[in-house]
Amino acid sequence: MSVTAGATRARRDTRRFSRIAAAVLMPVGPLAVALLRFIIPFDPPAVAAAADPARLEVVMALGAVATFTLVPGAYAAVHLTRRYQPVLTVWVAALLIPGYLGLAGLAVVDGIAPAGVRRGVDPAAVTAIYDGVGELATVTVFFGVFLIGHILGTVLLGILSFRARLMPRAFALLFAVSQPLHLTAVMLANNWLDLLAWSLTAAGMAFLALRVLRTPDEEWDLPPLTGRTSERASHAVRS
């Protein structure tokens, strides 16, 4: 009797925990980048590192937070949207997740300047090394995937949110234009505009996070298999 009860007992259901954790993570990455883009200097990296090394340390710390939270947040977003707009969700995932993954490679490159200055390397030599690394094919791929992926992916996610009414439509439109606005801020070397752009991205992700919190566990994911159901599934696969 106890064996039967143990076999049919349901495994621990973690759907509520995973749903809440996903909602918490979703706006964290864009918010970290918003702060990063607000304080990052637009001077050449070696010059900026020599002038204010503490600032670049904060930039790199925020970059680490973004690196570890942007991809889980993007995955949570497409996990939510796949039932509303499945085809558009595939495009969002194909662009946004690789785009955010590309940030990891760029974060390593950004450490060259402060590391070189800390070691007493001449700023001109640091700049030459930084530029040389940036010209490597692998780094170029990282940059291209990041640039195209995170901008177009966010635009499509905003359009998806507008079409599926996952947030007020005015906010969905602001969400969609947030990353083109970020690109404009970079070209203009405007920290305030960059802060606004990434804050709009964070706000869009926060609206999606609210939808995640309001999603019932049954709609968020399948329940865990019971012991007996798991055995039947394994037997079906083997047969």
Domain count for the chain = 1
In a domain, 10, yes or no: no
Count other C-beta atoms under 10 Å from residue 180's C-beta: 14
Task: Please state, in angstroms and as integers, the Cα–Cα distance from residue 5 to each residue in 8, 9, 10, 138, 231, following that order.
Answer: 5, 6, 10, 55, 14
In a domain, 229, yes or no: no
- Give bridge partners of residue 10 from the DSSP assignment: 226
Question: Dmax over Cα atoms in the chain, in whole Å?
Answer: 77
- pLDDT tens digits, one per residue of 214-229: 999 999 988 988 766 5
Report the distance separating Cα 233 and Cα 235, nearest Å: 5
In a domain, 226, yes or no: no
In a domain, 161, yes or no: yes
Count other C-beta atoms under 10 Å from residue 24's C-beta: 16
- Give bridge partners of residue 226 from the DSSP assignment: 10
In a domain, 94, yes or no: yes
In a domain, 9, yes or no: no
Of the CA atoms within 13 Å of residue 115, those in its CB half-sphere come to: 9
H-helix or E-strand spanning residue 115: helix 112-118
Give the model's confidence band at 199: pLDDT under 50 very low, under 70 low, under 90 confident, else very high. very high
Instruction: List the domain range (segments joined by +) for residue 186.
Output: 15-217
Report the distance separating Cα 62 and Cα 203, nearest Å: 18
Q: At what angle do helices 53-81 and 191-214 cross, to 10 degrees?
A: 40
- pLDDT tens digits, one per residue of 73-127: 999 999 999 999 999 999 999 999 999 999 988 888 888 888 887 888 888 888 8
Mean pLDDT lowest among 4-13, 212-221, 229-238: 229-238
- pLDDT tens digits, one per residue of 167-195: 999 999 999 999 999 999 999 999 999 99
Asked if 209 contacts 171 with a C-beta cutoff of 8 angstroms, the reply is no
